[in-house]
Chains A and B, each alone.
Chain A
Amino acid sequence: MDQQQPPPPTPNAPPPSSAVDPPPQPQPQPQIQQQTTPTPPSTSSTAIPNPNPNPILKPLPSAIPPPQQPPHPKPALPSHQPRPAAAFSRPWQQHSSQFTHFSSSSPSASSPPSPSFSSQPRGSIALGVPSSHSGPLPPSPSPSQSTPFTGSFGHSFGGTSSSNVSQARPMMRGIGIGSSVGSSSQMRPGGISAQHQQRPLQSSLRPTSSPTSQSASTQNFQGHGLMRVSAVGSSSSTPSTPQTPQSPNQPWLSSGAQGKPPLPPPWHRPQINAPSLQPRAHIPQQHHSLQTISQQQHVSSPQVPPQNISSIQQQEPFEQQFSQSRASQSLPHQQQDSRSQGSANQKPSSLAMVQPSTVQVTQNKAAITESDDSGGRILSKRSIHDIVNQIDPSEKLDPEVEDILVDIAEDFVDSITTFGCSLAKHRKSDTLEAKDILLHLERNWNMTLPGFSGDEIKTYKKPLTNEVHKERLAVIKKSILASEAANAKHIIGQTAVNTKGNVGKVAANILGSPNVKIREVS
């Protein structure tokens, strides 16, 4: 690997890095920093790798929250990621030593990753053997774009339950490449590429999605998978294969075409999603990841999540299109402007279709689809396609039907928003809040949306009854009782003539309520 060769760190660097990993996070950080400083001067061949470790190191201390934990605090993530990146950067330098280390630690890698650096050594092991899992890579907003990539890498390794050493290696390569690329330009593109790399790593690492991780690993091997991932976010470098020359912005294009077949849709989707959301460290299929990602990236979430989640189907053509559009879009906008991206929704939607996996968090889906519908003035037909595919992949709709559905959806959103606003105004507030929408849906559409009410106790109103009505009911009851009493007397007279038992039985059958009376009589 080019990356590995150029920066030959001082011999001390690798061992301390490994040693640093197990100790608690604070310790490794200072050590890493110290170690990195000597490395830059040592590496003369490539300047790129050097800058990478430096930026990576800084965020490391903060970014190592256990990727496994569902909520990944944004600040925590960036810090954690850099750490593993730093640790990994060293291993790259010392190829052989690292792999041996990895091999030994491979069994440990399978064990649940711990948030601390201890996971790193596992990660390093993963290099040799790609782990299936999508290690809980925290969606790092990545202060340095390259760092999140590395950070996630480390975590992902720790998280990987299954030992896929093979995967780790290609991933490492990708990471090295990506990091080098990313570090060189700490612009979005670099970050995106890093993200791409991270995603495959993350996705593969996650234990929950073992199949996806496997696929991811295979992809990594091929380099295509990484390409795909990067394709979304315009990954600068193909992580898996340093061999394939790829332009920073279109590596995915070339790789995407190749890597498609092996890449399973669900794994693919999450990856695609990741690049779109730069800060998001792609967490495939994980509710957790989606949530964290959405939390972390509010900006991009409205736009990307809806699209990603909804569509799964069309991978290849969309991926390329999407990645291109994304690359162009993401760079200029920080994906914060949902509106602006709304216009680009069509392209991203196609990509979203590819990326999002139905497995993704349902909540996110609901939230995202809702936000998407409500956010975009013009609901794209792709979204309709995606939704239909979620229901039935083989379902097809006529174009007229799609048009009508789009119109219905837009009218729905419009009417709800309008009524919600009038409710808010009635509340004497100038802010449209969730409770306005919830009330309208609950009362007029009979739709309950759990998870948004904020746990407000629903007060119960006893049905208002008029006095007149109550009096009438009382009169009716009296008359019923009187008639029953009359019947009972009649039956009693009959029993006197007939057999008590027979009459009693008959009476009991006829009269349900006055059974007690009849029994007493008989």
Chain B
Amino acid sequence: MINPSTGPSSKAKVQHMMYGFGDDPNPLPETVTLVEEIVVEYVTDLAHKAQDIGSKRGKLSVEDFLFLIRKDLPKLNRCTELLSMQEELKQARKAFEVDEDKLATLE
């Protein structure tokens, strides 16, 4: 399959994910291949649509992806949750830096 994969083979990742969703620990290779193809097709299609939307606004942004999955509530909520977590982590890291600067200035 023309599937650029980095790190552990994409098939292994897909296999583990399938197991996480309730499949057999050792599914058929054909099944794994099919699921992988479905996933790749889905992501590719999503990216294409996001590009279509983003090009109208100028640049591709995260908002475009969120707009595309607006109908899928679980996914949408999970995405917003992850994005907010990312923001929080950013803030936390910033706080560390600020503390160091304050200490430096105080001293």
Which A residues are within 8 Å of any B CB, using their own CB?
70-71, 287-288, 291, 363, 448, 450-451, 453, 455-458, 460, 462-463, 465
A443 to chain B, nearest CB (A): 13
Query: Does A455 lie within 8 Å of B2, measured CB to CB?
Result: yes
Query: Does A451 lie within 8 Å of B55, measured CB to CB?
Result: no
Which 4 A/B pairs are nearest by Cβ-Cβ distance?
A455-B1, A450-B38, A70-B28, A451-B34
Q: Which residue of A lies closest to B41 (CB)?
A: A450
What's the Cα separation between A288 and B30 when bound, in Å? 9
Please name all residues of chain A whose beta carbon is closer than 8 Å to the beta carbon of B47 when the two chains form the complex.
Answer: 460
Query: Does A451 lie within 8 Å of B28, measured CB to CB?
Result: no
Query: Does B38 lie within 8 Å of A287, measured CB to CB?
Result: no
Task: Evaluate whether A70 and B30 lie within 8 angstroms (CB atoms) in the complex, with A455-B1, A455-B3, A458-B44 already known.
Answer: yes
What's the Cα separation between A492 and B69 when bound, in Å? 40
A selection of 8 A-B contacts at a CB cut-off of 8 Å is A70-B30, A287-B28, A287-B30, A451-B33, A458-B44, A460-B47, A462-B51, A463-B51
Query: Does B31 lie within 8 Å of A287, measured CB to CB?
Result: yes
A206 to chain B, nearest CB (A): 13
Which of B30, B34, B55 lies in contact with A465, CB distance below 8 A? B55
What's the Cα separation between A287 and B56 when bound, in Å? 46
B50 to chain A, nearest CB (A): 11
Q: Which residue of B lies closest to A288 (CB)?
A: B28
Please name all residues of chain B whose beta carbon is closer than 8 Å to the beta carbon of A453 when the two chains form the complex.
Answer: 37, 41
What's the Cα separation between A457 and B40 when bound, in Å? 10
Please name all residues of chain A whose beta carbon is closer than 8 Å to the beta carbon of B31 when the two chains form the complex.
Answer: 287
Please name all residues of chain B whose beta carbon is closer than 8 Å to the beta carbon of A458 when the two chains form the complex.
Answer: 41, 44-45, 48
Please name all residues of chain B whose beta carbon is closer than 8 Å to the beta carbon of A363 when the two chains form the complex.
Answer: 30, 34
B42 to chain A, nearest CB (A): 9
Query: Does B44 lie within 8 Å of A463, measured CB to CB?
Result: no
Which of A71, A450, A457, A462 lies in contact with B55, CB distance below 8 A? A462
Task: Evaluate whether A291 and B48 lie within 8 angstroms (CB atoms) in the complex, with A450-B41, A455-B1, A455-B37 already known.
Answer: no
Question: Which label, helix, strand, loop or mixed, suits the secondary structure of the A interface?
Answer: loop
Please name all residues of chain A whose beta carbon is closer than 8 Å to the beta carbon of B20 when the two chains form the complex.
Answer: none
Task: Evaluate whether A460 and B48 lie within 8 angstroms (CB atoms) in the complex, with A70-B28, A450-B38 already known.
Answer: yes
Q: Number of contacting residues on B, CB 8 A?
A: 20
Q: B52 at the A/B interface (Cβ < 8 Å)? A: yes
Query: Does B29 lie within 8 Å of A70, measured CB to CB?
Result: yes
Query: Does B2 lie within 8 Å of A450, measured CB to CB?
Result: no
A216 to chain B, nearest CB (A): 21
Q: Which residue of B lies closest to A448 (CB)?
A: B41
What's the Cα separation between A256 and B51 when bound, in Å? 61
Query: Does A450 lie within 8 Å of B37, measured CB to CB?
Result: yes
Q: C-beta contact mask, B17-45 vs A, less than 8 Å → 1, else 0?
A: 00000000000111101100110010011
Task: Evaluate whether A456 and B2 lie within 8 angstroms (CB atoms) in the complex, with A70-B30, A363-B34 already known.
Answer: yes
Please name all residues of chain B whose beta carbon is closer than 8 Å to the beta carbon of A463 when the two chains form the complex.
Answer: 51-52, 55-56
Please name all residues of chain B whose beta carbon is closer than 8 Å to the beta carbon of A71 when the two chains form the complex.
Answer: 29
List 5 additional contacts besides A363-B34, A451-B34; criterion CB under 8 Å: A288-B28, A448-B41, A453-B37, A455-B3, A463-B55
Please name all residues of chain B whose beta carbon is closer than 8 Å to the beta carbon of A455 when the two chains form the complex.
Answer: 1-3, 37
Please name all residues of chain A whose beta carbon is closer than 8 Å to the beta carbon of B3 when the two chains form the complex.
Answer: 455
What's the Cα separation between A71 and B51 when bound, in Å? 40
B22 to chain A, nearest CB (A): 15
B21 to chain A, nearest CB (A): 15
B31, B47, B55 pick with most chain A CB within 10 angstroms = B31
* Complex interface residues of chain B between 39 and 69 (CB less than 8 A to chain A): 41, 44-45, 47-48, 51-52, 55-56
Which of B2, B28, B29, B30 lies in contact with A457, CB distance below 8 A? B2
Please name all residues of chain B whose beta carbon is closer than 8 Å to the beta carbon of A465 when the two chains form the complex.
Answer: 55
Q: Which residue of A lies closest to B48 (CB)?
A: A460
Please name all residues of chain B whose beta carbon is closer than 8 Å to the beta carbon of A460 when the two chains form the complex.
Answer: 47-48, 51
Please name all residues of chain B whose beta carbon is closer than 8 Å to the beta carbon of A448 when the two chains form the complex.
Answer: 41, 45
What's the Cα separation between A455 and B34 when bound, in Å? 11
Please name all residues of chain A whose beta carbon is closer than 8 Å to the beta carbon of B34 when the two chains form the complex.
Answer: 363, 450-451
B1 to chain A, nearest CB (A): 4
Please name all residues of chain B whose beta carbon is closer than 8 Å to the beta carbon of A462 when the two chains form the complex.
Answer: 51, 55
What's the Cα separation between A453 and B52 when bound, in Å? 23
What's the Cα separation between A77 and B34 when bound, in Å? 25
Q: Which residue of A lies closest to B44 (CB)?
A: A458
B28 to chain A, nearest CB (A): 5
What's the Cα separation between A363 and B34 when bound, in Å? 9
Q: Which residue of A lies closest to B3 (CB)?
A: A455
Please name all residues of chain A whose beta carbon is closer than 8 Å to the beta carbon of B28 when the two chains form the complex.
Answer: 70, 287-288, 291
Please name all residues of chain A whose beta carbon is closer than 8 Å to the beta carbon of B29 when the two chains form the complex.
Answer: 70-71
What's the Cα separation between A288 and B1 when bound, in Å? 21
B80 to chain A, nearest CB (A): 19
A82 to chain B, nearest CB (A): 26
B48 to chain A, nearest CB (A): 5
Please name all residues of chain A whose beta carbon is closer than 8 Å to the beta carbon of B45 when the two chains form the complex.
Answer: 448, 458
What's the Cα separation between A71 and B45 when bound, in Å? 31
A318 to chain B, nearest CB (A): 29
What's the Cα separation between A516 and B40 when bound, in Å? 40
What's the Cα separation between A462 and B56 when bound, in Å? 11
* Complex interface residues of chain B between 76 and 104 (CB less than 8 A to chain A): none
A359 to chain B, nearest CB (A): 13
Please name all residues of chain A whose beta carbon is closer than 8 Å to the beta carbon of B2 when the two chains form the complex.
Answer: 455-457
Please name all residues of chain A whose beta carbon is closer than 8 Å to the beta carbon of B30 when the two chains form the complex.
Answer: 70, 287, 291, 363
Q: Which residue of B lies closest to A287 (CB)?
A: B28
Task: Evaluate whether A451 and B37 lie within 8 angstroms (CB atoms) in the complex, with A70-B28, A70-B30, A458-B44 already known.
Answer: yes
A450 to chain B, nearest CB (A): 4
